Amino acid sequence: MANDKTVSSVGEFGLIEHCFKNLGRSDIPGVGRGIGDDAAVLFVPRTQDLLATSDTLVEGVHFTRDADPRQLGWKALCVNLSDIAAMGGEPRWYLLSISLPPTTPLAWVEQLALGLAAAGERYRVALVGGNTTATTGPIVLTISLFGVVGNGRPILRSGAEEGNRIFLSGTLGDSVLGLRRLTGVDRGACEKGMVDFLLDRHVRPMPRTELGMALVDAAVARSAVDVSDGLLADLGHVCAASGVGADIHLEKMPLSLAARQWLGDGDGDRWRVLLTGGEDYELLFTISPGALDQIPAIAEKVGVPLTEIGVITREKGVRVWNSGKPLVLSDAGFKHF
């Protein structure tokens, strides 16, 4: 289709047919009826529980019109995938509800769909329905994602116990450093390869789906959360849900080479950025000390480093230690309101 077309020139059904229908994938199990009926028909085996999550992206709040729509499509699906990963589930199906101004270029929606298709391919999830509406307001994109996990096996935030060891996957803070580059907060000399790495970590999160599923398989995780609001805020959610506290140690924190260079001598303000920045989409989980010897095999199996960063305590609150000295931090992460 020509690139000067808008969504109003193809209409709702044209848009679905042209952009979204091929996101329906025929290789995903459990789809009795996907796009094209009044509702999707989905099958969940009796041995599994259904997981459901939803996330909304609003133009002007979560993205700008000049953002790359392909990256937006990837990220919109991946933030939902990360929530299913945190529960240890296998992602399966999603619904897409999108409100578009009639003047939105068709090419914008095509690119968005390509980003969704790439994430759907990588994480094996199918679009099974949704809704398309015209709006006089900003673009609004809501994805609801469904996954499955063995009966009674989902990893909850509320299972952390005193003495549990706290683990973090991947590396901390790359995404917020990418965002700071993108928005011009951080300028100045930095190796191009490092900048590209940080930007990629911000716009192209890689949900830890395989890790979540491996933690369920091995039955080792007592609690888990994905790091979306910032490590301190999300660890705080686990502690609040479990009625416990935590000590974490900065010298143990897994950092990329780029983040380590940016951190330099590691003053408190810079640590605060890494600990509260958010959008890491890594998994934070706790295990009992008896399960420690299983962690290296899981890390190897899923190809993601897993680092012990602290311990769950009976005393409530999250305490951050910098080489044995307490680090006082005021702001504990992203707040939605």
- Please answer whether residues 104 and 6 qualify as being in contact, where contact means their C-beta atoms are separated by less than 8 angstroms: yes
How many C-beta atoms surround the C-beta of residue 54 within 10 A? 14
Kindly indicate which of the ranges 80-88, 117-125, 216-224, 317-325 contains the residues binding Mg ion, using the contact rule CB under 5 A.
80-88
Name which of 6 and 144 has its Cβ closer to Mg ion. 144
**Least distance to Mg ion from the beta carbon of 87, Å?**
9
Stretch that binds Mg ion, among 67-75, 76-84, 169-177, 273-281 (CB under 5 A): 76-84
Q: How far is the CB of 281 from Mg ion (least distance, A)?
A: 9
Distance in Å, CB of 331 to Mg ion, minimum: 19
- 249 CB-near residues (< 8 Å, 6+ apart): 309, 310, 321
d(CA 334, CA 318): 16
Asked if 279 touches Mg ion (CB under 5 A), the answer is: no
Tell me whether residue 15 or residue 77 sits nearer to Mg ion (CB atom). Answer: 77
Query: Between 16 and 225, whose beta carbon lies closer to Mg ion?
Result: 225
Q: Does 90 contact Mg ion by CB under 5 A?
A: no
User: By CB under 5 A, how many residues form the interface with Mg ion?
Assistant: 3
55 binds Mg ion (CB under 5 A): no
Q: How far is the CB of 212 from Mg ion (least distance, A)?
A: 11
Which H, E and C letters describe the chain, residue by residue?
CCCCCEHHHHHHHHHHHHHHHHHHCCCCCCEEECECECCCEECCCCCEEEEEEEEEEEECCCECCCCCHHHHHHHHHHHHHHHHHHCCCEEEEEEEEEEECCCCEHHHHHHHHHHHHHHHHHHCCEEEEEEEEECCCCCEEEEEEEEEEECCCCCCHHHCCCCCEEEEECCCCHHHHHHHHHCCCCCCCCCHHHHHHHHHHHHCCCCCHHHHHHHHHHCCEEEEEECCCCHHHHHHHHHHHHCCEEEEEHHHCCCCHHHHHHHCCCCHHHHHHHHHCCCCCCEEEEECHHHHHHHHHHHHHHCCCEEEEEEEECCCEEEEEECCEEECCCCCCCCCC
User: By CB under 5 A, which span of 16-24, 145-153, 222-230, 250-258 interacts with Mg ion?
Assistant: 222-230
Q: Smallest distance from the beta carbon of 129 to Mg ion, in angstroms? A: 23
Nearer Cβ to Mg ion (83/90): 83
Whichever of 181 and 202 has its CB closer to Mg ion, that residue is 202
Closer Cβ to Mg ion, 71 or 228, answer by number: 228
Please identify, using beta-carbon distances, which residue of 69 and 205 lies nearer to Mg ion. 205
Interaction between residue 83 and Mg ion (CB under 5 A): yes
- Selected range binding Mg ion among 57-65, 79-87, 186-194, 301-309, rule: CB under 5 A: 79-87
Smallest gap from residue 106 Cβ to Mg ion (A): 33
* Stretch near Mg ion under the rule CB under 5 A, chosen from 75-83, 119-127, 160-168, 200-208: 75-83
Beta carbon nearer to Mg ion, 110 or 282: 282
Nearest approach in angstroms of CB 232 to Mg ion is 15
Choose which of 226, 279, 280, 282 interacts with Mg ion (CB under 5 A): 226
The answer to the question of residue 59 lying near Mg ion (CB under 5 A) is no
| Least gap, CB of 41 to Mg ion (angstroms) | 28
What's the token pair of residue 294? Answer: 């299983």
Phi and psi torsions of 217, nearest 5°:
-55, -45
Q: Which residues are at the interface with Mg ion (CB under 5 A)?
A: 83, 226, 228
